[in-house]
Structure formats: C-alpha cells, structure tokens
Structure 1
C-alpha cells in the first residue's frame, strides 16, 4: 500500500464519519485547514465523537483549539491521531481533557481488484424494515444493551444511499452484522459483530465479504477499516494489509 493511498483512505474514513453524523438528530462535523475534525454523532461511544486528525502530521495547535469545543461536553468523546508516535503537545491536550487512556487502533486496507467471491453462508442487505433485527444482532455481537445500538439501525442510516447494512442469518436468527459506507472509489467497513454462540464459524468473514462484494459492484476499488488487535489476523486472511496504527485517547 502506498502512502498516498493510505492518506486517501484516512480522509475517506473521516468522510464516512461526517456522513454518519449527518444522519443523527444531534450530529455535527467541521474540518480545520490543518486536517483536524470535530465530530459529534451523539452516539454513546467515545470512538464516534471527538477530535480526530487525519493529517499525516497532526497539527497540535489546531487539535488543542478544537478540543475546547463546548459541543463535546455533552458526549463521551475521544482524541484520535494517525501514527503510533504522538507529539507531546497532543498528548498534553488529551491529558488536559482527562483522556488518559491510550490505545493503538490498526488501520487496514484492501485492494479490490476483482469481484469478491460469495461465501457459502447467506448474507442479505437490510433496510429500515429490518431495524430491530440489525440492532439486536449487533448488540449481541458487541455484548451490549440493544438500546445503545439504535443509532446504527435508524432509518436515516439503513436507508441512506451511501450506506449498506447486512445481516447473516441461520434459520431466522441473526448471526452476524456488517456495514459499508461508500466514498468515491472507496468503502469503509464497520459493525462487524458476531454473537458469542456463533463465533469461529465464518459468519463474520461472510458478512465482511458481502460489504466488499457489493461495494466492488458499485465502483469501490479500495476497502478500509479499523480493526481490534485480535481482529487483525481475520482481516489479513481476507487480504487486508495493516497500513498503519492510529493513536486513540479516551477516558
């Protein structure tokens, strides 16, 4: 993967977040000239609110200015920058806002050079008609209360032209979810969730493949995602490359 492609994918990632914010009643997004973004989706997850720099060299002053936004006082939020090495001034800004927990998020890319072969497991695209199924399956996969995941199953999300949600089912039971957001010739992959009783059976892989297959048909040629460290081997087996790490600061 070239640095240029990684830079493009990072910018596409924040675009997907801005699109998601637009679907939410209290959503807000703004970009600074140095590559810093303020993102407020209203979702009860710090990853989906906060100050994010997608610049190859984050601007510490712009990040500090954006971190003072009053809009962040009403949400759980994070500070995110690309790279594993972080300017001491950026780390100090995080500390000043009590964001003392630091972790690394692998950022992975995959060239979509040909159509992805369908998996043997049936996966279907969903719409707002399937909101309850999508929400409860995703919640079971992340092992959290279903109400926390309502933001991902709203009609404004599941019926959005650039957004595509998927569910894998076995005998009417949801066994995996996935979600893709198209940005030009790229697709962001999100919400890969498999409830504990159904893990290690290929359902997550099948749900991911459905996103890639349909995105390729719609013109996407590169896929990107953030993986947990445990998820890296799964995505590498599907052809994703670990392009870089992002540094995440949370409470």
Structure 2
C-alpha cells in the first residue's frame, strides 16, 4: 500500500472519530497545528478517547500539552501514534499519566470496487436506523462478549441516523448474527464494529457484514476502506483484500 494512501486513510480515521464524537452528549474534538488531536467520545474505551497523532512525525511537545487537558479527567483514555518506533518523550508523557501499557494496533487499507462476493445461504444483511438501536446494541455486545451497556454509545439514534454513518445487522432466519458499521469520510470509508456472537462464528457472517459496508460505500463514491484490526483479525481481513499498511502504538493504563 502506497504511503500516500496510508497517510490519507489515517487522516480519514481521525476524521471519522471527530464525526463520532460529535454524535455523543458531551463529546468533543480539537486538533493542534502539528496534527495532534484530543478526542473525547464518551465511549468507555481507551481507544476512543485520548491524545492521538496521525502525523508521520508526531510532535512530542504538542502531545504533552494535549495530555494535560481537563476534558480527559475521569475518562478511560490513551495516547496513540502511528508506527512502532516512538519518541522517548512521547513514551514519557504517556507514563506520566499512568499509561504504561503499550500495544500495537494493526491498521489496514483496501481499494474497493463493486464486487464483494455473495452472502452465505439464508443470510440477509440489512442497514439499520435509530429504531433498531436496541437490537443493534445487544447483538454487538454479544459479538464482543461485553456488557450490553458498554455498547450503548454505538447504537444511539444520533449515530445510526447520521448522514455519513451506517450500521448493519446480518440476520439468519430473522435472528441477528453479526453487526458492522461504516463511516464515510470523503472518498474513503472506515469499517468498525464487526461483531459476531460466539455461537455464529466461522460461518462467514462477519465477512458478509463487512462486505455490506464496502458495497454500499462504493455506490456513493468511496474507493478506499480502512480499519483497525486485532492481531488475530489480520488474516481474516487480509483474505478480504485488506493490506496491513502499518501498526499504531497505543498506550493505556
């Protein structure tokens, strides 16, 4: 994957986060001159709150300044930068705020076209709206094996009815078996919230839910997709044509 495409996709990812923060009560987003962002989404997950730089060369001083923001107080937050080699000053800033756990987030990018295969027999993948909030939330929670309340921020009507966002649920004979979510940012689409409850895994349902995001995004002009994968998810997305563009460094408590 060309560096230019990866750079644009990284910028689109932070753009998607800004849009998401704007859908949340009390959500906020600001960006500094050197490309550092402060993200407060309200989601109880460090990945979706904190100080993030998608610049090719993060600015340690700006990151340190943003890390002092009172808006981060009480939130589960992180420091995130692109790449595996991180300036010692950024590591020190994270440590000063108790963010001593370091992990890598694979960032993947894919050129998309009109063809994305066929869905498994009997499976229907449909877009959802705010009226589907409860079923979307509970299916996603089951897919991630987490408390139902944890996923309420992703299922608000302000999210599911947003003009640049679209949630999907895959149903087998009317039973929800997978979720997905797409955010359009220019000619790119971010893929999020791919969740499959344990009893329905390894049947292609997560793949079909992901393909639905790509298929509809292509019809409205998106030509590149991006996502963060878990390390275990990299082979699955690679099989769908996503390239492992780079790793991001994530510092959490």
TM-score tier by shorter-chain length is over 0.9
Indicate the residue corresponding to 1:192 in structure 2: 194
The structure 2 residue matched to 1:138, chosen from 137, 140, 143, is: 140
Indicate the residue corresponding to 2:205 in structure 1: 203
Q: Where has structure 1 moved over 6 Å in runs of 4 or more?
A: none
User: Are the aligned partners of 1:118 and 1:209 in contact in 2 as well (CA < 8 Å)?
Assistant: no
User: Are the aligned partners of 1:115 and 1:217 in contact in 2 as well (CA < 8 Å)?
Assistant: no
Give structure 1 stretches of 5+ with no counterpart.
none
Indicate the residue corresponding to 1:105 in structure 2: 105
Question: Following TM superposition, by how much is the alpha carbon of 1:201 offset from its aligned partner in structure 2, in angstroms?
Answer: 0.7
TM-score normalised according to structure 1 size: 0.98
Counterpart Cα distance in 1 of 2:83 and 2:199: 35
Indicate the residue corresponding to 1:221 in structure 2: 223
User: Are the aligned partners of 1:118 and 1:210 in contact in 2 as well (CA < 8 Å)?
Assistant: no
TM-score normalised according to structure 2 size: 0.98
RMSD of the alignment, in Å? 0.8
Counterpart Cα distance in 2 of 1:154 and 1:39: 18
Indicate the residue corresponding to 2:26 in structure 1: 26
Counterpart Cα distance in 1 of 2:73 and 2:220: 39
Question: Following TM superposition, by how much is the alpha carbon of 1:173 offset from its aligned partner in structure 2, in angstroms?
Answer: 1.8
SS at structure 2 position matched to 1:105: strand
User: Are the aligned partners of 1:115 and 1:216 in contact in 2 as well (CA < 8 Å)?
Assistant: no
Counterpart Cα distance in 2 of 1:228 and 1:52: 19
CA offset digits 1:129-182 (Å, max 9, x no partner): 111110000000111111111110000000000000000111222110000000
Counterpart Cα distance in 2 of 1:243 and 1:51: 22
Indicate the residue corresponding to 1:148 in structure 2: 150
SS at structure 2 position matched to 1:150: helix
CA offset digits 1:74-111 (Å, max 9, x no partner): 21001000001100000000000000000000000000
Give structure 2 stretches of 5+ with no counterpart.
none
Question: Following TM superposition, by how much is the alpha carbon of 1:126 offset from its aligned partner in structure 2, in angstroms?
Answer: 0.4
Counterpart Cα distance in 2 of 1:211 and 1:166: 8
Deviates more, 1:117-126 or 1:197-206: 117-126
Alignment of 1:17-166 (within 5 A): 17-120=17-120, 121-166=123-168
Counterpart Cα distance in 2 of 1:52 and 1:124: 33
Question: Following TM superposition, by how much is the alpha carbon of 1:36 offset from its aligned partner in structure 2, in angstroms?
Answer: 0.4
Question: Following TM superposition, by how much is the alpha carbon of 1:221 offset from its aligned partner in structure 2, in angstroms?
Answer: 0.2
2:191 aligned with 1:182, yes or no? no
Counterpart Cα distance in 2 of 1:150 and 1:171: 25
Question: Following TM superposition, by how much is the alpha carbon of 1:116 offset from its aligned partner in structure 2, in angstroms?
Answer: 2.6
Counterpart Cα distance in 2 of 1:113 and 1:129: 30
User: Are the aligned partners of 1:20 and 1:157 in contact in 2 as well (CA < 8 Å)?
Assistant: yes
